Structure 1
Amino acid sequence: MGCDIRYRSRTIRTTCGGIFAVPTGTGRFSTFAPPSIHEATGLSTGLSTARRRIVQDLRVRCRFFAGAACGRRIISDDGAMNPINIRLANLYRIGVGPSSSHTVGPMRAAAFARAELIGHGGVPRSLRVELKGSLGATGRGHHSDLAVLAGLHGWEPHDCDIDAVLALRETLAADPSVAWSGGARVRLHPDDVVFLRARDTKGEVLPHPNTMVFHATFDDGSTTSSTWCSIGGGFIRRPEEVAGGDDGPGKPRDVPHPFNDAESLMERAREIGGTLGDVVLANERALADDDGSSADAHLDAVWETFLSCIERGTTTTGELPGGLAVQRRARLLLDRIDEGEVSEAYADIARAQAYAFAVQEENAAGGRVVTAPTNGAAGIVPAVLVEAADRRGHSREEIHAALATAAAIAMLVKTHASISGAEVGCQGEVGTATSMAAAALCQLMGGTIDQVANAAEIGMEHNLGLTCDPIKGLVQAPCIERNAMGVAKAHSAAQLALHSVVAGVVSLDKVIKVMKRTGDDMRREYKETSEGGLAVSFPEC
């Protein structure tokens, strides 16, 4: 099996046997076979510079794993489509700011690395962690070092002491060690987490734009290392899993209403006479092997986190940390609305935008938020749904169904494209969140299955090409205001879908595929590196 894909306006031919057909610049193709599967997955440095760049760009377009089929693992060995089995608790992940891929993911990876070392029974003398790719470029502003240090303490994003995390640089500078098993202590200093910029890894092809390597040195001089990739939304994978496409639909499991794309999701919804979210909730019950109580409990926790985050964000003023002198705006905008200084026609959207500001400002300050589907876009879904619930009086069941429908959209995007800004730009984060919120709002307003899918498509379509260019590597500008704009787009998309009298030209499945290809074609400078767009006006260093 093989496939043709586009590279800089030329066709690249690939085969699952590991043959690349690479453009030579003369209109012809030069073929070469990587000597090992590791090179095909982007782990080797034995290629020429030109070919290495091509393999780096091709990595996200066609992944190889022991001769497996091209692309994400969405087709089983018998040719059937694997159903999407991403769990709600993994998609809506409660964690800390400011980034799901650069904070939550690294913390989880570090905790796994610690657990593995402890499980092997050894006590390292020292630890060292290398953050590469986008993590190395923007990780300092994303608190990636703090996240790794916290994970190496065994702390988890959903319940860690946020103040203790934020103080780790000072704490470990004063006492550079971390408690280990058996009462031992292992050397760990803030400087043991190293940010490697592109110039530091020149010639190395990374398995993913967000790659981290954990090194442990023992008293006898021996060393061990493990590599992890943070693939967006707090999800983490090993390089071989990324290469094998295990960042797509989830592990194959039987569910009562299998779907793999928007078309089959809509079919299942019609079959059960329910919503897109009802399909997700029914499958979730089967995966959890319960009556739905675990899903309900998690969605209750998600909703409570939404509310508490908005409460904190709308009652706090002042300047956000990081040196950009960004002022919190949520409380100020809410005051203008409450004082009648905002026109009545705009007031509902303005209130939702104030809520989006609140969530993103809390996220930027390192507070606790929910990946929806990422931290960088965490303000859109809660803002739209909380404002709608307050104004329209929706029940708990209606909110859960809306959250499940929003999750269904994110599952489709994660399976067939990406929710990582480092892979596809901000269209994968704010674009996906806008699409999720539009679908959920349309459903709450009485939209049909087709209208809900159309709302999601409109929300995504009009974010195509959106770059990820955080100034100084901080999730503040343009990120916070971009979430507020996502709220307005979600409202517009829901209304357009509800009141369109003709069918849309572009399907939801099609726009997701286009988003993926747009992200593949986007230069790396515009994918969470702080090396392009707005970020170059205020470089991190």
Structure 2
Amino acid sequence: MVKEQISVFDIFKIGIGPSSSHTLGPWRAALQFVKSLKKGNKLGITTQVKIFLYGSLAKTGKGHGTDVAVLLGLSGYDPVTFDVDLIDSKIKQIRDSRELRLAEQKVIEFIYTDDLYFLYNEILSYHPNGLTFQAFLNSGKVFSETYYSVGGGFVVKEGEEENLDNQVALPYPINTAAELLAYCKDTGLQIHELVMANELTWRSELQTKAGLLNVFNTIKECIYKGCRTNGILPGGLNVARRAAGINSKLLGNVDYKNFDEWVLLIKNTGKEFSNILDWVSCFALAVNEENASFGRVVTAPTNGAAGVIPAVLMYFIIFCDEQSEESLIRFFSVASEIGSIFKKGATISAAMGGCQAEIGVSSAMAAAALTDGLGGSQEQALMAAEIAMEHHLGLTCDPIGGLVQIPCIERNTMGAIKAIAAAQLALQGNPGQAKVSLDAVINTMWETALDMNSKYKETSDGGLATNIPLSLPEC
């Protein structure tokens, strides 16, 4: 059996909100389908395309922008570079003109209400997030492919194993926390050094570091924009954005021209406990308000949990005075390894495991990275990840109205605060006395996911989604 190999850039993907599994994943699946049409010389003879969304993708697809994502993906646009300010106009153009330009080349008739199907009561066996594309050819034949968006923007094509295109001979193949710790002890390398050694099999160290700094720049832009943008989030819930208001209240009437000036002002607000709590919450809110607005974010490891790691990273930079490029790269490297272990041993998909698979995993990733960055040992870093996840076990995914807003946005603040608390506990603790290992809590998380009722797995069929009476407009 081929072991899954996960790069730091598989965990930290640049994309567009509001969901990695329901927006970014389907977008990438649509791009893959168009690529298949091109490869088989079928693009030019395609006369019609139909899209079928199954299970969780159907039930919360409109709230998560799945319909938007697949149309933009079929159009050939890249979620990494596509101008987020053009999303609404592009979708309106497709719906009003009743035309879709496949891969920006082949124009076909496309009627949104007739060619896009939300199959609410049908779930494919491999994963709750399934979607099928059908291309009708002028020869009378139909070309069809099915994909699964398995969380964090990862996509699996039916009939293929996950992540096989990137197979290399890793010097340190890691599937469990125990294996990670064993490599550290045997080699004397730190966690981030093991990660970098593995990354070197895919690209140069210079390329990896440049890529991670680009990830950080995307996070900076997202936080900075989110902390300066007021208004109401889209989707019909009428949720007011709060980060900008908190930012203004905490800073007062001061001027700043860029991110660096802003950070310096925040540093000068002091290190009182309540002030730090307010800022960490503000950072997390800022990211996920951007995410909810179809903004550009970084999966960490998902879009729904995209605010946890940025908030903890900002805490690390501003209140722990750690802002060198090397410390940032180390932070991302450690966090990514923890995330990859969770994905291999359990899941990072809320449709499979509830919100414990998103906020819980991101909190564990952030806790480990922060512990490592503050000088903790490898054992303490893994201990911090375990503590963070242990106190997210069983967390359900029950988005009101199928939107990544309530309770998702606030949950990022809670995940960030728990990560910081877990790091402090681990730094003051003795891993040798710990009763629960990280591998044990990962296994427990997976068992909990299997036992969890499906209505609490990103369907909006249970929890807050059914106890808060709302009347939302049809998207």
Paired residue for 2:225?
Answer: 312
Q: State which of 127, 134, 154 in structure 1 corresponds to 2:56.
A: 134
Percent identical residues:
40
Deviation of the 1:118 alpha carbon: 2.2
Paired residue for 1:466?
Answer: 395
Paired residue for 1:231?
Answer: 150
Paired residue for 1:369?
Answer: 297
TM-score w.r.t. structure 2 length? Answer: 0.90
1:13-412 alignment to 2 at 5 Å? 73=1, 82=3, 85-122=5-42, 123-180=45-102, 184-191=106-113, 192-198=115-121, 201=122, 205-241=124-160, 246=162, 252-288=167-203, 290=204, 292-339=205-252, 344-391=272-319, 392-412=321-341
Q: Quick one: which amino acid aligns to residue 524 of structure 1?
A: S
SS in structure 1 at match of 2:64: coil
Distance 1:212 1:528 in 2: 16
Alignment check: 8 A CA contact 2:53 2:131 kept? yes
Paired residue for 2:255?
Answer: none
SS in structure 2 at match of 1:287: coil
SS in structure 1 at match of 2:49: strand
SS in structure 1 at match of 2:171: coil
Q: Quick one: which amino acid aligns to residue 273 of structure 2?
A: A
Deviation of the 1:420 alpha carbon: 0.2
Distance 1:331 1:342 in 2: 19
Distance 2:428 2:39 in 1: 58
Deviation of the 1:424 alpha carbon: 0.4
Alignment check: 8 A CA contact 2:175 2:345 kept? no
Closer, same or farther in 2 for the Cα pair 1:467/1:185, shift >3 Å? same
Distance 1:316 1:180 in 2: 34
Deviation of the 1:276 alpha carbon: 1.5
Deviation of the 1:400 alpha carbon: 0.4
Paired residue for 1:518?
Answer: 448
Paired residue for 2:263?
Answer: none
- Out of 379-388 and 162-171, give the one that drifted further: 162-171
Closer, same or farther in 2 for the Cα pair 1:411/1:181, shift >3 Å? closer
Deviation of the 1:432 alpha carbon: 0.3
Unaligned runs of 5+ in 1: 1-72, 77-81
Distance 1:259 1:421 in 2: 23
1:484 matched to 2:413? The reply is: yes
Paired residue for 1:437?
Answer: 366
Q: Let me know the Cα RMSD of the aligned residues.
A: 2.1
Q: How many residue pairs are counted as aligned between the two chains?
A: 451
Q: Quick one: which amino acid aligns to residue 319 of structure 1?
A: I
Deviations 1:268-318 (A, max 9, x none): 223343322221111101232x2x012111101110011000010000011
TM-score w.r.t. structure 1 length? Answer: 0.80
Deviation of the 1:507 alpha carbon: 0.2
Larger radius of gyration: 1
Deviation of the 1:341 alpha carbon: 10
Deviation of the 1:179 alpha carbon: 2.9
Deviations 1:29-73 (A, max 9, x none): xxxxxxxxxxxxxxxxxxxxxxxxxxxxxxxxxxxxxxxxxxxx5
Closer, same or farther in 2 for the Cα pair 1:414/1:501, shift >3 Å? closer
Alignment check: 8 A CA contact 1:255 1:287 kept? no
- Out of 400-409 and 346-355, give the one that drifted further: 346-355
Deviation of the 1:521 alpha carbon: 0.5
Alignment check: 8 A CA contact 2:345 2:442 kept? yes
SS in structure 1 at match of 2:62: coil
Unaligned runs of 5+ in 2: 253-267
